[in-house]
Every structure is written in structure tokens, then in C-alpha cells.
């Protein structure tokens, strides 16, 4: 864990927020490499969940929302964690996360637990009175429920169909911890899949399989991933069944994503509170009904951390130690690095030519500093799957060396063939 955190800082994946002012606790900024990786995670999710499906459409709802939404959803009354104070060192903890002893001083004496609401409250406009209260959304899901009728009318979808969204959510977590695993500001990738009530069980199982496979397809080994069904007493107020996709983090198995059967709880709650009919009516006959919802709810920032942890390796190449991120090429911040052997003008000219052919297809880096061996190590460390080296022979024969990150195997290719060969390698994955 420490090594991955240190790599993230050193190589520009993740920085402490407001670091020059001493840092803002448990808040992070995504640097040049992190923003690429995070974007690739979100794109891979969007592609699998929206782009490749005709039964799912996208949405981008507002982060700021009025209290009515969170009143109806149950968040104003139920979205709480049990907060206790250690009677010895006065640190505050989430009671359900500490196993009876204070993680700071070991004391077992605490105050009574009180319910702490995690919603971030703010005021919209210049007046700070009760009428201007607004909330930063703690999940993207409610945006999909309150837009159910809009989406139904404008897309003419019929159940089973889904509405998907990727975006920031905010929770005033009592104990944000484990780097970007639990933060107060984070990104979610959620999809609400509306189904006829009698089909809910089938779709719940379907989405468990789909979501598990999404992580393994992107390189997380099955030994590090499991599905865990919630016991009845663990279920959220809206859920009739939930299973988590869990990853084996350095501190043990923990949640990556929750897949819930939310029944008709949300549509009924918003319908009752708003007075709007939120149901599906099949024009070709049949009774109107309120669809049930199956929700795969993932964290983008948390998934990015799991991809980093599972990709991190220390191995040896030619008797030399190296650090390598074996990220799936679709997720890697850069897919290709173009490396001219030296700063000679002719080599840089040809290298730019190579770069021009690759940038329409791949995220590329370009590096001319230090020895070629050191540059390979630097690219390995940030997970770049392929390096393309342009040397003096390249000027004569217009062939370049393509090096593979995982096998370190090198092949010599005509520079016209490089983009095609790398696309072929990507396509095979
Ligand atoms: N709409 C349902 C929902 O929000 P959740 O289990 O509370 O369910 C879904 O959140 C996912 O969002 C989690 O599995 C996790 O990946 C991510 N997540 C939740 N709280 C988070 C936090 N404080 N920091 C980072 N990710 C978080």
C-alpha cells in the first residue's frame, strides 16, 4: 500500500489537495497520469454500460439539489453513521469500523453512539436561512429517479431499460481513510435498471455476473475479487437484496461496488412526495405499473485504486530490479511512449513523424531524457504497455523497435506498420 501511494505521488497520479498549504485532510487531486487513468476507468465503464447497449441511456444531473429530493429518498433521516468519541483521547470514530478499541490509543471506553448525518449541506444564493438549504448529492442515483418520467417520455424506452450516470458525489465521512478508498469527495458510476416487478430477481443475478466480469476483463485476477451477499440486517433502507463486489485490499476484503435490488422504493417515494406519476404504461395494453430497480453502484476513484493495487509488481529484468504497473492497456495512462535514442535533430524529426501516426489512435507520451534503459523503467513504472524506440538505423530503414512492457520482448517493425500492430494487440485483449 505505501509503495503504491508513494508511486502515485512521485509519478503524478494523485496529489494531496492544497498541499502547499499543508494539505486538506483526506482530499486528493488527480495529476497528469491519474486523470488519464481515472478517465479510462470511467470510459471503460461507460462503454460497457451505455455505449454498447441499446437498453441503457446516459444522464448528467446536477450536483446541487433541494432538500425535497433527500427527504423523499430517505437520506435526511436514514443516511447516518454511528459516531462515538473515545473517552480517553477524544478522537471520533465510526462505531461499526473500530472493533471495540480506539485505533488511536487502544481505550475501550466510548460515549454512547449518536447518529451522524453524512449529507453536505450548503445554501443556494446569498441568504443563509432555512429556505435556501441545498445539498451536495451523496450519490448520483437520485438524479436518475427524479428524471425517470423525463427519460421515459423523451426516449420511448420500455422496461427493462437503464439510466446511467458518472459523476462526483459528496459524503461528510466521519473517518475518511485508506488513501482514495474512502474520501469526502469522490466519483461514482451508477446505473438504475428499471424492470417489470416479476423480473427483478433474474436481472439482479444478471447484473452481479456482468459487473464481476467487468473487473476481471480489465485485469483484476479472480483471486482478488469476490461477490458477497449482504445479510438481512445489513441491507440499506431501500434494498430487498444487495451483493457487493469486494476486492482484497491490503487491509482485507472490502467493497468496490454494491449491486442492489431496490424494489419500487425510490419511484414510489418520489411519486408520493412530488405528486407526479412515476410508472410505466404500456400503450399496447396492460395495467400501468411501477418498475423495480436493479442498481449496480460503483466508485470510480475506488475502482482506480483497486486497478493500481492489483497491477503493482516488483520484478527483475536482466538482473535489474524494476517496478512495473501491469495495467490493462485500455486503462494505462499512456498506451505508447515514443523514445528517440538521442536528441539529434534527425532522430527527433522522425520520432515526431511516428508520434503523428500514433496520436490519433493512442494516448502517447514522448520522452528524450536520460538513457534508453532508464526511460524504459520510467514507462514500466507508470504502466505504459508499449515503447517505440527510434534509433540511427531507423533513419536508414524506417524501422523502429517496439518493446512490450510485460514480456520486455522487442520487435523491429516498419514505421508504417506500428499503429496497425498495436491496434491488433489492443484488439486481442
Ligand atoms: N446509490 C447507491 C450507493 O451510493 P454505496 O454503496 O453507498 O451505494 C456505491 O456507494 C459505491 O460508491 C461504493 O461501492 C464505493 O465504490 C463508492 N463510494 C461510496 N462512498 C465512498 C467514499 N466515501 N469514498 C470513495 N468511494 C465511495
Domains annotated on the chain, with CATH: 2-68+124-308 (3.30.930.10), 334-428 (3.40.50.800)
Out of 299, 301, 306, give the residue to mutate to test ligand 1, the one with the largest number of ligand atoms within 8 Å of its CB. Answer: 299
Judging by DSSP bridges, how do beta strands 120-123 and 225-229 pair with one another?
A: unpaired
Index of the ligand 1 atom closest to the CA of residue 138: 4
pLDDT bracket for residue 428 (50, 70, 90): low
Residue nearest (by alpha carbon) to ligand 1 atom 17: 299
Residue nearest (by alpha carbon) to ligand 1 atom 2: 297
Instruction: Round to whole Å and give the CA distance between 400 and 338.
Output: 10
Asked whether 414 and 399 are in contact (CB, 8 A), the reply is yes
Confidence check: pLDDT of 273 > 90: yes
What pLDDT does residue 429 have?
62
pLDDT per residue as tens digits for the range 382-413: 999 999 999 999 999 999 999 999 999 999 99
Please, how many CA atoms are within 13 Å of residue 326, restricted to the half-sphere of its CB? 13
350 alpha carbon – ligand 1 mean position (Å):
47
- Surface-to-core class of residue 402, CB atoms within 10 Å of its CB (0-12 exposed, 13-18 middle, 19+ buried): buried
Index of the ligand 1 atom closest to the CA of residue 139: 4
Cell of 146: 427524479
Index of the ligand 1 atom closest to the CA of residue 188: 12
Instruction: Round to whole Å and give the CA distance between 33 and 38.
Output: 9
Instruction: Round to whole Å and give the CA distance between 89 and 230.
Output: 34
Out of 181, 302, 303, give the residue to mutate to test ligand 1, the one with the largest number of ligand atoms within 8 Å of its CB. Answer: 302
What pLDDT does residue 401 have?
98
Question: Using a 6 Å cutoff on CB, does residue 183 contact ligand 1?
Answer: yes
What pLDDT does residue 256 have?
98
Q: Give the count of beta carbons closer than 10 Å to the beta carbon of residue 412.
A: 13
pLDDT per residue as tens digits for the range 136-173: 999 999 999 999 999 999 999 999 999 999 999 999 99
Instruction: Round to whole Å and give the CA distance between 352 and 292.
Output: 55
Instruction: Round to whole Å and give the CA distance between 389 and 386.
Output: 10
Q: Give the count of beta carbons closer than 10 Å to the beta carbon of residue 176.
A: 18
Q: Which residues pair with 245 in a beta bridge?
A: 227, 257
pLDDT bracket for residue 130 (50, 70, 90): confident
Average pLDDT, the chain: 95
Residue nearest (by alpha carbon) to ligand 1 atom 24: 182
Q: 102-132 burial, b if ≥16 CB within 10 A, otherwise e?
A: beeeeeeebeeeeebbebbeeeeeeeeeeee
Question: Using a 6 Å cutoff on CB, does residue 138 contact ligand 1?
Answer: no
Question: Using a 6 Å cutoff on CB, does residue 262 contact ligand 1?
Answer: no
Confidence check: pLDDT of 247 > 80: yes
Amino acid at each position: 500500500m505505501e509503495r503504491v501511494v508513494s508511486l502515485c505521488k512521485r509519478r503524478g497520479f494523485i496529489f494531496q489537495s492544497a498541499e502547499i498549504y499543508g494539505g486538506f485532510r483526506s482530499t486528493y487531486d488527480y495529476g497528469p497520469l491519474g486523470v488519464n487513468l481515472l478517465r479510462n476507468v470511467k470510459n471503460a465503464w461507460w462503454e460497457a454500460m451505455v455505449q454498447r447497449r441499446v437498453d441503457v441511456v446516459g444522464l448528467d444531473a446536477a450536483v446541487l439539489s433541494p432538500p425535497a429530493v433527500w427527504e423523499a429518498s430517505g437520506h435526511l433521516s436514514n443516511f447516518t453513521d454511528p459516531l462515538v468519541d473515545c473517552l480517553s483521547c477524544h478522537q471520533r470514530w465510526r462505531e461499526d469500523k473500530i472493533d471495540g478499541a480506539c485505533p488511536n490509543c487502544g481505550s475501550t471506553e466510548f460515549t454512547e453512539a449518536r447518529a451522524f448525518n453524512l449529507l453536505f449541506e450548503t445554501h443556494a444564493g446569498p441568504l443563509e436561512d432555512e429556505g435556501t438549504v441545498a445539498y451536495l448529492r451523496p450519490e448520483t442515483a437520485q438524479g436518475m429517479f427524479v428524471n425517470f418520467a423525463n427519460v421515459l417520455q423523451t426516449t420511448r424506452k420500455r422496461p427493462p431499460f437503464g439510466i446511467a450516470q458518472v459523476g462526483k458525489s459528496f459524503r461528510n465521512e466521519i473517518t475518511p481513510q485508506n488513501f482514495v478508498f474512502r474520501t469526502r469527495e469522490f466519483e461514482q458510476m451508477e446505473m438504475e435498471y428499471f424492470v417489470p416487478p416479476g423480473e427483478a430477481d433474474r436481472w439482479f443475478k444478471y447484473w452481479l455476473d456482468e459487473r464481476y466480469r467487468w473487473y476481471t476483463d480489465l485485469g483484476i485476477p479472480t483471486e482478488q475479487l469476490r461477490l458477497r451477499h449482504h445479510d438481512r440486517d445489513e441491507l440499506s433502507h431501500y434494498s430487498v437484496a444487495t451483493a457487493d463486489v469486494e476486492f482484497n485490499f491490503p487491509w482485507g476484503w472490502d467493497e468496490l461496488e454494491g449491486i442492489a435490488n431496490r424494489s419500487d422504493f425510490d419511484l414510489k417515494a418520489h411519486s408520493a412526495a412530488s405528486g407526479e406519476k412515476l410508472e410505466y404504461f404500456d400503450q399496447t395494453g396492460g395495467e400501468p405499473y411501477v418498475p423495480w430497480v436493479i442498481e449496480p453502484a460503483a466508485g470510480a476513484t475506488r475502482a482506480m485504486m483497486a486497478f493500481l493495487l492489483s497491477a503493482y509488481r516488483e520484478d527483475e529484468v536482466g538482473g535489474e530490479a524494476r517496478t512495473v504497473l501491469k495495467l490493462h492497456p485500455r486503462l494505462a495512462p499512456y498506451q505508447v511512449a515514443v523514445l528517440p535514442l538521442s536528441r539529434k535533430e534527425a532522430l527527433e524529426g522522425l520520432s515526431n513523424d511516428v508520434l503523428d501516426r500514433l496520436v490519433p489512435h493512442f494516448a502517447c507520451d514522448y520522452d528524450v531524457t536520460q538513457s534508453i534503459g532508464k526511460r524504459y523503467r520510467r514507462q514500466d513504472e507508470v504502466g505504459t504497455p508499449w515503447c517505440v524506440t527510434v534509433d540511427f538505423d531507423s533513419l536508414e530503414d524506417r524501422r523502429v523497435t517496439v518493446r512490450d512492457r510485460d514480456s520486455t520482448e522487442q520487435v523491429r517493425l516498419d514505421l508504417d506498420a506500428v499503429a496497425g500492430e498495436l491496434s491488433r494487440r489492443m484488439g486481442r485483449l
